[in-house]
Amino acid sequence: MDLELQTERLTLTPCTDETLLTYSTNGYKLGPHIGMYLEELKKDASALGWGVWLVIDKQTNNIIGDIGFKGKPDNEKSVEVGYGIISTKQNKGYATEALKCIIEWAFNSDSVNKITAECLVDNIPSVKVLQKLNMTKIKNDNHMLYWQLNK
């Protein structure tokens, strides 16, 4: 399974100690989820691909955000996706481009039939991204929207 994905403008690669050294983190802040995922990878190599992926701008080789799954597929062949793009690169379609690519990768893996996501009700950019990718809103609970996409 090839673990470097290409879109028109982006390279998506799983976050590892090595890939963090390969690309420029200029302007990109490593969130706490990165450290947690790198620790998990040390314990379970099969988690590669089911955690954080770096979103890299092909033109600059800069990391402009991250995207990925909150763990390996569960018994229902379901994974939850999450993403974030740095503020200077938002509203340019990068999140949609990256998410579309990673959804295709997951559905092609044969271990995923359902992808879920959640976002705050007032996170309009995220709502638009999830709508563009034909995700279905399944629940609105306590200021959170819950989304689902079936294979």
pLDDT, tens only, 31-45: 999 999 999 999 999
pLDDT tens digit string along 78-118?
999 999 999 999 999 999 999 999 999 999 999 999 999 99
Domain boundaries, the chain: 5-112
Q: What is the reported pLDDT for 9?
A: 98
Using left for φ > 0, alpha for ψ between -120 and 50, and beta otherwise, residue 110 falls in left
Q: What is the reported pLDDT for 2?
A: 54
Residue 149 has pLDDT above 80, yes or no: yes
What CATH code is assigned to 5-112?
3.40.630.30
What angle, rounded to 10 degrees, do the helices at 94-108 and 124-132 form? 50
Residue 1 has pLDDT above 70, yes or no: no
